[in-house]
Amino acid sequence: MSSEQPHRPLLGRKALITGASRGIGADIARAYAAAGADLVLTARDGSALEEPAARLAAEHGVRTVVLAADLADPDVPGRLWAEASGLMDGLDVLVNNAGLSHPETVEALETAHFDETLQVNLRAPALLAARAGAAMAESGGGAILTIASAAALRPLAEHYAYSTAKAGLVMATRTLALELGERGVRANSICPTVVLTDMGQKVWGEQPAKAAPMLARIPQSRFAQPREVSDVAVWLASDAASMVNGAEIPVDGGYL
């Protein structure tokens, strides 16, 4: 074999990635396709997924399928895994990435924002992971990845609902790791600091006054790039992480 063969640690794996249309999820889709995984890509706006799905399939010779779904719909999380799995004839990796935030102070907290954040950032991924974990346990194992946040482990001002939801999701992930570990299911969380997605760039990258106090708490003195989350997400789903279970992996330049 030539030493120029690409390293494809996820060859033969089949993954569902939520929130795959932009930001971190889109970059994880890129990294997983390059690593050899077949993919079901989901977000609300299915049309935004068609072009990347076709491109990744053509560039990397993997199978990609698009499935539009709104995780705020109470019925969706319970049935999404079965639907996605049916399309792919089985799945063995879940990347629970979709999420939102409504930055606001505790005093300005809006109940509708609190409810939506808990719905999309906690209820949906926790239910989806439970259904996925149960199916993986039946079929011999798999990997569940939670894209949580450093805000799950250390409070972040103006992120009351967000931190609450992410902390709950980290504990749901640990519980899956505990209950399903002996049946071959590994469940881990990635906890990034600010990631310079398009949105991160707007909120943090282009507002030096807002960014400065945050940067001062990050020993590496910079925010993360999406690729720095994706690389960890590839590793966690691969056999290289076969004894990593129930962990929270910071991608935070030392912030935590």
45 part of the interface to ligand NAP, by CB under 6 A: yes
162 catalytic? Reply is yes
The one catalytic residue in 32, 160, 162, 255 is 162
Sign of the alpha-carbon torsion through 157, 158, 160, 161? negative
Burial (0-12, 13-18, 19+ Cβ within 10 Å), 110: exposed
**How distant, in Å, are the alpha carbons of 31, 52, 60, 129, 221 from that of 99?**
19, 20, 27, 14, 25
104 part of the interface to ligand NAP, by CB under 6 A: no
- Residue 88 or 98: the one with the smaller Cβ distance to ligand NAP is 98
- Residue 73 or 138: the one with the smaller Cβ distance to ligand NAP is 73
Stretch that binds ligand NAP, among 68-76, 81-89, 177-185, 214-222 (CB under 6 A): 68-76
- Residue 72 or 179: the one with the smaller Cβ distance to ligand NAP is 72
77 part of the interface to ligand NAP, by CB under 6 A: no
**Binding test (CB under 6 A) with ligand NAP, winner from 200, 218, 230, 233:** 200
Question: Which residues contact residue 99 at a Cβ distance below 8 angstroms, ignoring those fewer than 6 apart?
Answer: 19, 120, 121, 125, 147
Burial (0-12, 13-18, 19+ Cβ within 10 Å), 112: exposed
Is the CB of residue 129 less than 8 Å from the CB of residue 184?
Answer: no
Residues that bind ligand NAP in the complex, under the rule CB under 6 A: 19-25, 43-45, 48, 70-72, 97-100, 120, 147, 149, 192, 194-195, 197, 199-200
The set of catalytic residues is 162
